[in-house]
């Protein structure tokens, strides 16, 4: 049983664009994967651990291993991942709050 199973009616399919490697020119390459997430539109300023203030446009809840520097694509719009808040539950399944710019 997944942490988000109780919220299956709220789940949406979004595209997770994860950094997979570096090409011959030093630029990152990406892999696109469809994941399930709960989408929230919320515009606000967030402060990173490095004390940087960034504009958040939305956030998602997911158990996928999304990382800062990745992106989430919804409705043809690519949102960069600007911050991750990750909490563990008792079964070591990690629920991530992924903040999008």
pLDDT tens by residue, 8-62: 788 999 999 999 999 999 998 999 999 999 999 999 998 887 888 999 999 999 9
Average pLDDT on 54-74 reads: 94
Q: How wide is the angle at C-alpha 38 spanned by C-alphas 51 and 6, nearest 5°? A: 125
Q: Is the pLDDT confidence value at 88 over 90?
A: no
pLDDT at 72: 97
CA distance 19 to 40: 23
Q: When comparing pLDDT for 6 and 22, which is higher? A: 22
Q: Domains of the chain by range and CATH?
A: 5-100 (2.40.10)
pTM: 0.84
pLDDT at 3: 66
């Amino acid at each position: 049983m997944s942490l988000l199973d109780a919220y299956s009616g709220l789940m949406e399919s979004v595209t997770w664009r994860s950094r997979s490697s570096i090409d011959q020119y030093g630029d990152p390459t990406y892999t696109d994967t469809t994941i399930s997430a709960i989408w929230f539109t919320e515009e606000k300023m967030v402060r990173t651990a490095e004390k940087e203030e960034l504009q958040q446009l939305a956030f998602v809840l997911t158990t996928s291993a999304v990382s800062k520097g990745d992106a989430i694509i919804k409705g043809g719009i690519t949102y960069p991942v600007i911050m991750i808040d990750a909490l563990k539950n008792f079964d070591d399944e990690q629920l991530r709050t992924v903040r999008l710019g």
